[in-house]
Amino acid sequence: MVNRSMYRPAVTALSGYVPGEQPPPGKFIKLNTNENPYPPPQPVVDAIKKAADGTLNRYPDATSRAFRCAAAEALNLPGPEWILAGNGSDEILTMLVRGFVGEGEKLRMPYPSYVLYRTLADIQGASWDQINFNDDWTLPGSFTESTENLKLALLPNPNSPSGTILSESEVAKVAEELECPLVVDEAYADFAETNCLGLVGQNENVLVTRTLSKSYGLAGIRFGFLVAHPEVVSELSKIKDSYNCDAISIAAATAAMKCSDWLADNCSKIIATRNRMAHELPKIGFQVTPSHANFVWCRHENISHRSIYDFLKSQQVLVRLMDFGDHGHGLRISLGTDEQNDALFCLLQGHLS
Amino acid sequence: MVNRSMYRPAVTALSGYVPGEQPPPGKFIKLNTNENPYPPPQPVVDAIKKAADGTLNRYPDATSRAFRCAAAEALNLPGPEWILAGNGSDEILTMLVRGFVGEGEKLRMPYPSYVLYRTLADIQGASWDQINFNDDWTLPGSFTESTENLKLALLPNPNSPSGTILSESEVAKVAEELECPLVVDEAYADFAETNCLGLVGQNENVLVTRTLSKSYGLAGIRFGFLVAHPEVVSELSKIKDSYNCDAISIAAATAAMKCSDWLADNCSKIIATRNRMAHELPKIGFQVTPSHANFVWCRHENISHRSIYDFLKSQQVLVRLMDFGDHGHGLRISLGTDEQNDALFCLLQGHLS
């Protein structure tokens, strides 16, 4: 047997990140992992099929240049050198932690937020410093306080599970006050009115991560990217696997970045659904936090969230039950198609009234 | 500016791994990165196109189960729990180093071999211990000597650039003598007569990595895997990104593992080319090391390798020029199609005679 003492102690201590349930396709209405309920743009599918007939026996472009050029254009950035592509924004987050935070050093994040951040620190043998959000999901001043060995701060914006957002000027202030780089995780930014891309050019300590998993309906292809000063991109590139993105996902992601009309339409549909949910869920006893993402965070006034979750699951509807102890618990419900949301609402109405 | 002191010192010290040249497709005969010169099996292409029409808006299976079942069957392993899938075997190697080797600890590898191993140690802030191969590419006894903080040993088998192989019993002896786990990197094993998969069940300190980039003609999709005791697979899974393999590459890799006839045919063709090269290159002054991989390591008796490399490049043929100082220098030539090898041979014959 590989003796347990042979692993890094940081690894044996890990319990491992547990992603949301992924049931067999077709059996459940999946409103638990903030996927886009709609299929991706057709040009993406076409690009994949074309790439399948390409030279798959050859290594892909190590720098995903075609994607980076398309993304720079779509996002109005100075050029591809401001972008680092990754195998999902999870890989980008991994690179950031490996780039900035050593064993015994410290990573800061707000709480409740994306639990993966803590896991990334744990894998690295680093410690983490969770700063509780205020009750209204604003960030307390302690988020920017200096502390020994603080090397990186991660801020999801919009945040999950709350769907709340800090304004660009609030984030700018956080970045200025922090003495370490600030990663703004913008996985859900396409569903919001504002984002922090503009800050990257103003303050080189601001690093923005994006993903194609949510707004582009491409969770299946694993593609994310970092927007940062070219020197940061260059330095972090040294950590990535040589060929971290494959030829097919590069082709798909490149095509996706050219679908700006599709993106606008898709986000409009999801925002319309969000508005409808925010209007209807309170009618059956939920408090809904105003959301800027493709999900809503809701708490029921008098029925246990566990029982609502269990009931929905028994009816083949998956939502995310989340318990943050003293810092709240509730249901995070991803926004589905109108049909899916109707089904959810109908079930909830029957169960709760 | 992100102050350089903000990065981990291990990262600023890195020069970064430089992969082989990747010119624009079609312009060069590429015999420099050990890709398969033939396109992948048609069922793989079909599987990709089918997956493109699937639910790309959903996250892929986090454990690549379909692939692991197909691979377990193809390789006659007890079950999928003996396999960990990764985004190329580079990601598997990264996970292994992160799993076993901490900052300040030690990784061992032979020399000359795959330079990425050193880079992985450097990224981790670990040190490395290179053991020079004997002149006949056998491994000296010092490879298994105990040394402080030695946490993992990496052994490419067949080795690059030499194409030489240690027998299963030689590897078994190395694993028994080492006091840390031994990773046998079998990127090229499908081109050899033997491999070490059988050792994994006998000695849990033997971990075998495989890739679909070489023998399956799928460098473009980035897929590799680890074969190891289920407990090792389980422990290392805690380090991987939640969804490290995408839906399309999982579909492609699953289809590939079912193409055993194609694999046998393809390897036969490449071995026939290898035999022909081993026979013909000596006629124009090369010493060719007997190879068990899809490339040959050759040294010319009296013409500088740099000049041969430059000449070939000027003629649109890329080979790999490698200089290991006191430990040899030469040209590593990937085996191409017959047409490509004819072109290479013709050019060399004209230039060298």
Q: Report the CATH number that the domain containing residue A133 is assigned in CATH.
A: 3.40.640.10
- In this complex, the residue of B10, B58, B94 whose CB is nearest that of residue A219 is B58
Whole-angstrom Cα distance, residue A306 to residue A322?
A: 9
Radius of gyration of chain A, Cα coordinates, nearest whole angstrom: 20
Provide the shortest C-alpha distance from residue A5 to chain B (in Å): 9
Please report whether residue A37 resides in a domain: no
**B248 and B301 fall within a common domain:** no
Chain B residue at shortest CA distance from A16 = B238
**Residue matched to tokens 């786990």:** B181
**pLDDT on residue A50:** 98
Please report whether residue A142 resides in a domain: yes
* H/E segment holding residue B231: helix B230-237
State how many domains chain A has.
Answer: 2
**B contact test, residue of A22, A200, A214, A246 with most B CBs within 10 A:** A246
pLDDT digits (tens, 9 = 90+) for A59-80: 999 999 999 999 999 999 999 9
**A144 and A61 fall within a common domain:** yes
Beta-bridged to residue B153, according to DSSP, are: B108, B182
Whole-angstrom Cα distance, residue B251 to residue B215?
A: 17
**A contact test, residue of B89, B239, B263, B337 with most A CBs within 10 A:** B239
Q: Are A99 and A235 in contact (CB under 8 A)?
A: yes
Provide the shortest C-alpha distance from residue B138 to chain A (in Å): 26
Partner-chain contact B238 A16, CB within 8 Å: yes
Whether residue B278 has pLDDT greater than 90: yes
Cβ neighbours of residue B262 closer than 8 Å, sequence gap 6 or more = B41
Residues of B in contact with A17 (CB under 8 A): 238, 242
Please report whether residue A97 resides in a domain: yes
**B206 and B82 fall within a common domain:** yes
Whether residue A19 has pLDDT greater than 80: no
Please report whether residue A36 resides in a domain: no
- In this complex, the residue of B1, B25, B33 whose CB is nearest that of residue A204 is B1
Mean predicted confidence (pLDDT) in A174-185: 97
Residues of A in contact with B243 (CB under 8 A): 19, 88, 90, 219, 222
Q: What is the mean pLDDT of chain B?
A: 95
Dihedral over alpha carbons B237, B239, B243, B248 (to 10 degrees): -70
Q: Report the CATH number that the domain containing residue A286 is assigned in CATH.
A: 3.90.1150.10
Cβ neighbours of residue A60 closer than 8 Å, sequence gap 6 or more = A243, A245, A246, A247, A250, B219, B220, B222
How far, rounded to the nearest angstrom, does the alpha carbon of residue B350 sit from its chain's CA centroid?
33
pLDDT digits (tens, 9 = 90+) for A131-174: 999 999 999 999 999 999 999 999 999 999 999 999 999 999 99
Chain B residue at shortest CA distance from A55 = B39
Whether residue A106 has pLDDT greater than 80: yes
Radius of gyration of chain B, Cα coordinates, nearest whole angstrom: 20
Nearest to A318 by CA among A295, A302, A289: A295
Cα dist. B60→A19, A218, B46, B250 in Å? 11, 10, 18, 8
CA B242, B246, B250, B253 dihedral sign is negative
Whether residue A29 has pLDDT greater than 80: yes
Whether residue B23 has pLDDT greater than 90: no
pLDDT digits (tens, 9 = 90+) for B194-250: 999 999 999 999 999 999 999 999 999 999 999 999 999 999 999 999 999 999 999
Please state, for a pLDDT cut of 70, what percent of chain A lies above it: 98
Mean predicted confidence (pLDDT) in A43-72: 97
**A267 and A255 fall within a common domain:** no
**B contact test, residue of A1, A5, A6 with most B CBs within 10 A:** A6
Whether residue A298 has pLDDT greater than 80: yes
Q: What is the pTM of this model?
A: 0.96
Partner-chain contact B221 A248, CB within 8 Å: yes
**A61 and A190 fall within a common domain:** yes
Q: Which ipTM was obtained for this model?
A: 0.96
- In this complex, the residue of B1, B38, B231 whose CB is nearest that of residue A231 is B1
Mean predicted confidence (pLDDT) in B133-147: 96
- Three-class SS state of B341: helix
Cβ neighbours of residue A280 closer than 8 Å, sequence gap 6 or more = A345
- Among B205, B232, B259, the domain boundary falls at B259
- Three-class SS state of B268: helix
Chain B residue at shortest CA distance from A29 = B58
**A contact test, residue of B238, B245, B294 with most A CBs within 10 A:** B238
Q: What is the mean pLDDT of chain A?
A: 95
**B194 and B71 fall within a common domain:** yes
Provide the shortest C-alpha distance from residue B321 to chain A (in Å): 19
Provide the shortest C-alpha distance from residue B94 to chain A (in Å): 8
- Among A232, A259, A286, the domain boundary falls at A259
Residue B212, classified by CB atoms within 10 Å of its CB into exposed (0-12), middle (13-18) or buried (19+), is buried
Chain B residue at shortest CA distance from A115 = B242
Residues of B in contact with A103 (CB under 8 A): 102-103, 125
Q: Please, which pLDDT band fits residue A15 given cuts at 50, 70 and 90?
A: confident
Whole-angstrom Cα distance, residue B53 to residue B12?
A: 43
Q: Please, which pLDDT band fits residue B1 given cuts at 50, 70 and 90?
A: low
**pLDDT on residue B353:** 78
**A245 and A143 fall within a common domain:** yes
**B12 and B63 fall within a common domain:** no
Whether residue A328 has pLDDT greater than 70: yes
- Among A259, A288, A318, the domain boundary falls at A259
Mean predicted confidence (pLDDT) in A258-262: 98
User: How do beta strands A150-156 and A182-185 pair?
Assistant: parallel
Whole-angstrom Cα distance, residue A127 to residue B246?
A: 30
**Residue matched to tokens 């050193």:** B118
**B114 and B232 fall within a common domain:** yes
**A193 and A334 fall within a common domain:** no
**pLDDT on residue A243:** 95
B10 compared with B224, residue with greater pLDDT: B224
Residues of A in contact with B82 (CB under 8 A): none
Mean predicted confidence (pLDDT) in B8-31: 81
Chain B residue at shortest CA distance from A100 = B7
Please report whether residue B36 resides in a domain: no
Angle at the Cα of A323 from the Cα atoms of A320 and A325, rounded to 5 degrees: 170
Whether residue B4 has pLDDT greater than 80: no
Q: What is the extent of the structural domain holding A103?
A: 42-259
Mean predicted confidence (pLDDT) in A261-277: 97
pLDDT digits (tens, 9 = 90+) for A218-244: 999 999 999 999 999 999 999 999 999
Provide the shortest C-alpha distance from residue A222 to chain B (in Å): 6
Whole-angstrom Cα distance, residue B161 to residue B156?
A: 10
Residues of B in contact with A233 (CB under 8 A): none
Of B12-26, B125-139, B213-227, B269-283, the range with the lowest mean pLDDT is B12-26
Where do runs of H (alpha helix) occur along chain A? 9-12, 42-52, 65-74, 89-100, 116-124, 168-177, 197-202, 230-237, 247-257, 260-280, 305-314, 338-352
**pLDDT on residue B15:** 85
**pLDDT on residue B175:** 98
Q: How far apart are the first and last CA of chain A?
A: 56
**A147 and A202 fall within a common domain:** yes
**A91 and A15 fall within a common domain:** no
